[in-house]
A = this chain, B = another copy of it.
């Protein structure tokens, strides 16, 4: 069942490239990087790069995929819990994720970044959000608004917050952001979905702990 050693060697090469890319993105943004920059940073021959990836975009996607699925995995369980604070827990985990990789995301989500990051995030997060919406929708009467639409609304709002948060050096903790988000979002989307909002901590209490 063990992987042959050859494969481990390959994994090391791919890992080096991935690490090198993420490091360079933090330093110099994504667009201006060349394949040569990446392979040099990784101490890998340029030709070798093309044995593993078609282009730097594919490398980025595969590199992010890890992080994304990691994010998805951490949120997924919360969706099944119908307890009171599940929603706030999920959003807190989202903010936590972006905080964990803040240097990287700050670059990717602003001017030196890559188009597809926004798009991908919107798609991936909205799928997660949709699961959530559907779950609640099943329990409660529908409102006629497509769940996809609500999911994009919710996700867009979160990403808007995250961009602001990262660009302003995260003046609040992930928990605080989650509470703020809850207060902004809950009454509206919740009402539309016809369900009662979760119990949220008092807003001014939370903000004062800044």
Contacts and interface: CB of A to CB of B under 8 A. Distances in A.
B184 A192 contact: yes
Identical copies in the complex:
4
Contacts of A191: 183, 187
A207 B192 CA distance: 13
A203 B160 CA distance: 25
A144 interface: yes
Given A115-B114, A119-B111, A144-B203, A161 B153 contact: yes
B184 A153 contact: yes
Interface residues of A, number: 49
B203 A192 contact: yes
A174 interface: no
Interface in A92-114: 109-114
A31 B155 CA distance: 25
Interface string A173-210: 00000001101111111011000000000011001100
Interface of A: 31, 109-119, 122, 126, 143-145, 148-150, 152-161, 163-165, 168, 180-181, 183-189, 191-192, 203-204, 207-208
Given A126-B164, A156-B160, A188-B189, 19 more contacts: A109-B119, A110-B119, A111-B116, A118-B118, A119-B163, A126-B160, A145-B180, A148-B168, A149-B165, A150-B184, A152-B160, A155-B160, A156-B157, A156-B161, A184-B188, A184-B189, A184-B192, A186-B188, A187-B191
Interface pairs A-B: 6 shortest CB-CB: A156-B160, A188-B188, A152-B164, A157-B157, A187-B187, A152-B160
16 contacts: A110-B119, A111-B116, A115-B115, A118-B118, A122-B163, A143-B204, A144-B203, A145-B207, A149-B164, A152-B160, A152-B163, A155-B160, A183-B192, A184-B192, A187-B187, A187-B188
